[in-house]
Structure 1
Amino acid sequence: MNSTPEWIARSVSRLRTAAPAADTKAADKPARAVLDKTVTDVVPKTPQPRGTHERLQATLRRGQEALSPRALRRLLADLQEVVAPQVSEIEGGRRAQAVADWYAKAEPEERRDMWLLMCEQFAPDASRFKSARARYEAAAGTEEEGQAEISLRRALVSPRTRLLQRFAVFPQGMRFLVDLRAELLPQLKGDKRLLPLDAELEHLFSTWFDVAFLELRRLSWDSPASLLEKLIKYEAVHDIRSWADLKNRLDSDRRCYGFFHPRLPGEPLIFVEVALLDKMSSSITPLLDESAAPVDISRATTAIFYSISNTQTGLRGVSFGDSLIKHVVETLTAEFPRLRTFATLSPIPGLRPWLGKHAGAMLERLDDKRRAELGRAVGFEPPQATHLLAALDKAAELDARSPVRQVLLECAAYYLGRELPDGKPADPVARFHLGNGARVERLNWGGDPSAKGLKQSYGLMVNYLYDLKRLDKHRSLLAQGKVPMSGEIESLCRG
């Protein structure tokens, strides 16, 4: 026997198949609407997840909920005890550590329930905020304005803020919070209810990890082995292949510096690798050559930042790079007064995917003569985007006079110097350095011939120049939607 929902669905299907001619359709709309609504009503809907307010009042768990209502109430009570008004900071920290111990043993979905409690049960008091805001607006321009502002600020401090502050009290509390956010971040897109907790953590981290509380340290071959292992683990630009590779990067003509926080001892938050040279570097290969003889640092005039790596996913959105480069430049200048040039040798990780989408538009910028030259080079006239992209897969084989090579350089310059979605450079590395006040200085063909370099940018690398006297000017230009660049890059952008 067929079920009623299946019978209704089949009947509706037959009615639609045998629909009358166009002139009679209008008369059947009400009937079809009733049938469509009937089908919609009988098709099971995916239930919306219950919020913690509803779950705390329930007696049984539902569907995929991890913690039972009873366990959820118990966890909420433990969290509330952490921020109880009569509890001291030290005792609150001890209670927070007990919750962290539970968290360490919890399943991922149970941890998610704790995040939801922190979001929904420790939110600011909306009525208190509304009242404080009205008082502040009424007091504007009067002698009561200052006190009204204080009240407004206090109303904005949520119980969640105090809760997270208590977690930061116990010895491993900062590590716990940073790791918690690293685990939380991938879940935000799928569950917007978690956004308040992320925003609160990012705000607190921006204060707790302010550069005023960080220490710049040089890392050398004499550093503890546990710290050197962290460099190998966290290196994000050019993988460290071996201990010999690491030793080369810490040789006499190299420097490596990292920012450290007192609550995360032995853990670099970000580190930069520097090569001391007599000119701007155009290729990463000699810098990573373990057999190369060290440069005479007494003759060095140029510092090349060839790798900058953030190490803590949980600190995403907290910026260290600008301050790190400034501090490193000051440190290097004090040690090596002959240094005059500070630049990077950087990858262009977004170039290949960007060109895959915009190759056609870039071809349209070519005049007839250039398009014909390119067509002859790729074997198709007129050349299409697919022809150009196929030819670029063999970029390492192109000679200096190849039209394909010239087009790629122009595309890369345009990508770095003109592509500004939402007013910011499209390439993530460009966004970092240009935001710090650097300018796009030079493109380097075959700068990274590794498989990774070819996959990212057909082997191209770029130098960003840090002109210490023009950093503010460059930031100002970028804020106006103009990328600071050298004449060479400007010429390539024009094509």
Structure 2
Amino acid sequence: MLEQLRRLTRRAQGDGALAPLLRSCHHLVSENGQANVYALALDVMERYRQLPAQRREAFFAALATEFSPEPERVLRTATRYAESPTAERLADLTSAVEPPRQELLRRVNRAPGGTAMLLAMRNDLLGLRKSHPELAAVDADFLHLLTSWFNPGFLRLERVDWQSSAALLEKIIKHEAVHEISGWNDLRRRLQPDRRCYAFFHPQLGDEPLIFVEVALVNDMADAVAPLIESEPDAAAASNARTAVFYSISNCQPGLRGVSLGNFLIKKVADQLKTELPQLKTFCTLSPIPGFARWLAQATDDDLKSEWKGALRRVAAWRQQCSNPQADDLQGANKALREDLQSLCARFLVQESHDKLGDPVARFHLDNGARLERINFAADLSRKGIKQSLGLMVNYLYDIGSVEARHQHFVDNKVSHSMAVKRLLKPRS
């Protein structure tokens, strides 16, 4: 795999568009004068911006080969440190193992617009990772630096409301990834006094949100999403509400994949809501299960213990009979089918959430210290909801006092779940 990167790098060195970019990168890393650093960083950014998309894989290949640590120096300093592990020799070893491309990225970040450019670069890199897994080391350097620069301590939390700028509101519509916003009227409903929207912002990205969460202020834990989005506004509900339902969390920056922001966002919003509305007692989500239908389609009798085979076969027979289920099919489903689907979903979430093919939303909330509280049938009857999870949705409960213990529970390869979910883990025969 390394040889493939070297071939791409050799090709880049003779490329009329790419070779000047690489020369600028080398100059930027070696430059000592601060004024020249800015100029060179701007030059690197502009040359990358003009680089055709099909040549960017060669650029990242060059980062992987020409801007990596020198093996001889690493071995030499590691040997010296092993012989005498002093602080000075540890510092030498740390310097030797750090890839020069990290300093390249730091210097790009100093220039105006540099942070946004690095996010765009990483987005391009992520698109290449599947076909070029050998670029993992380059991606690890991006992730390492972005995790530091986007530490929640550097971010500001801001409420988004109808008085926010039109440009920001348009971005909320554009980036909503869970429940599509159909237009300005739909957005306005989500910003009424009985609803909340909060976003994280970074000082280098201005009015560009990183991630945002939508909250419904209601009396009880919600079991369907349509009432949260389509119901008439109730101005008095906020002051009387006892439950805050987080029903949508959307990332706006693909280049930040792997940088954990959502958990901090939920905790900060919960703290802010508790301060504003001290009568709130329950903080929970109404979450999609985007991996459920896929897992169900791939599950076989051999994948499940014998006690689950009956439910699996009955659901498979229903899906064969109803190959393209619609909202009416789910609303009219009999009690037995509902129980089978809910039981299989409970089994999926409790027993598969630590697996790479487990549900990503479940993994996110459980790792953040939430408890799997309830599985709701016919909760999302949109086309997307039916396709991904056959209309099921989940409530995750955030009991603020138990978050750390439940996070550790998940780290220990266990899933915190309620008695209601536990009962679903006993399928009917």
TM-score by length of 2: 0.91
How many residue pairs get aligned? The number is 420
**Counterpart of 2:272 in structure 1: which amino acid?**
T
Quote the residue 2:72 is aligned against. Answer: 127
Q: Would you say the 8 A contact 1:132–1:151 is kept in 2?
A: yes
Q: Kindly, what percent of the aligned residue pairs are identical?
A: 39
Q: Note the C-alpha offset of 1:363.
A: 8.5
**Using CA pairs below 8 Å that are at least 6 residues apart, which structure has the higher relative contact order?**
2
Match of 2:412 among 460, 469, 480: 480
Quote the residue 2:14 is aligned against. Answer: 68
RMSD: 2.3
Q: Note the C-alpha offset of 1:187.
A: 0.8
Matched, 1:403 2:349: no
**Counterpart of 2:306 in structure 1: which amino acid?**
E
SS in 2 for 1:258: strand
Match of 1:467 among 394, 399, 405: 399
Distance 1:352 1:297 in 2: 35
Distance 1:305 1:286 in 2: 14
Quote the residue 2:350 is aligned against. Answer: 417
**Counterpart of 1:415 in structure 2: which amino acid?**
F
Quote the residue 1:43 is aligned against. Answer: none
Match of 2:52 among 107, 116, 127: 107
SS in 2 for 1:171: coil
Distance 1:206 1:252 in 2: 34
Quote the residue 1:82 is aligned against. Answer: 28
**Counterpart of 1:471 in structure 2: which amino acid?**
V
Match of 2:157 among 216, 227, 231: 216
**Counterpart of 1:405 in structure 2: which amino acid?**
R
**1:428-467, Cα deviation, whole Å (9 max, x unpaired):** 1101100100010011111111111111111111100001
List structure 1 segments (4+ residues) > 6 angstroms apart after TM superposition.
none
Q: Note the C-alpha offset of 1:475.
A: 1.3
SS in 2 for 1:186: helix
SS in 1 for 2:320: helix
Q: Would you say the 8 A contact 1:282–1:345 is kept in 2?
A: yes
Q: Would you say the 8 A contact 1:282–1:447 is kept in 2?
A: yes
Quote the residue 1:180 is aligned against. Answer: 121
Matched, 1:96 2:30: no
**Counterpart of 1:416 in structure 2: which amino acid?**
L
SS in 2 for 1:279: coil
SS in 1 for 2:171: helix
**1:4-49, Cα deviation, whole Å (9 max, x unpaired):** xxxxxxxxxxxxxxxxxxxxxxxxxxxxxxxxxxxxxxxxxxxx85
Structure 1 pair 493–175 and aligned structure 2 pair: CA distance change class (3 A): same
Structure 1 pair 103–352 and aligned structure 2 pair: CA distance change class (3 A): same
Match of 1:364 among 306, 320, 325: 306
Q: Note the C-alpha offset of 1:271.
A: 0.5
Structure 1 pair 128–287 and aligned structure 2 pair: CA distance change class (3 A): same
Q: Note the C-alpha offset of 1:117.
A: 2.2
Q: Note the C-alpha offset of 1:146.
A: 1.7
Distance 1:50 1:317 in 2: 24
Matched, 1:491 2:418: no
Distance 1:54 1:358 in 2: 43
**1:135-179, Cα deviation, whole Å (9 max, x unpaired):** 222224xxxx22222122111222211111111011111101100
Q: Note the C-alpha offset of 1:402.
A: 2.4
Structure 1 pair 86–476 and aligned structure 2 pair: CA distance change class (3 A): closer
SS in 2 for 1:194: helix
Q: Would you say the 8 A contact 2:31–2:37 is kept in 1?
A: no
Distance 2:36 2:197 in 1: 40
Match of 1:390 among 285, 310, 320: 320
Quote the residue 1:153 is aligned against. Answer: 94
Q: Note the C-alpha offset of 1:359.
A: 5.6
Q: Note the C-alpha offset of 1:70.
A: 6.3
**Counterpart of 1:464 in structure 2: which amino acid?**
Y
Correspondences of 1:185-200 after superposition (within 5 Å): 185-200=126-141
Matched, 1:51 2:15: no
Match of 1:241 among 182, 191, 194: 182
Q: Would you say the 8 A contact 2:215–2:247 is kept in 1?
A: yes
Q: Would you say the 8 A contact 2:373–2:396 is kept in 1?
A: yes
Query: Which of the two has higher C-alpha Rg?
Result: 1
Q: Would you say the 8 A contact 1:443–1:460 is kept in 2?
A: yes
**1:273-309, Cα deviation, whole Å (9 max, x unpaired):** 0111111111111111154544521111110000001
Q: Would you say the 8 A contact 2:288–2:394 is kept in 1?
A: yes
Q: Would you say the 8 A contact 2:380–2:393 is kept in 1?
A: yes
Matched, 1:227 2:227: no
Matched, 1:282 2:214: no
Quote the residue 1:433 is aligned against. Answer: 365
Distance 2:132 2:23 in 1: 24
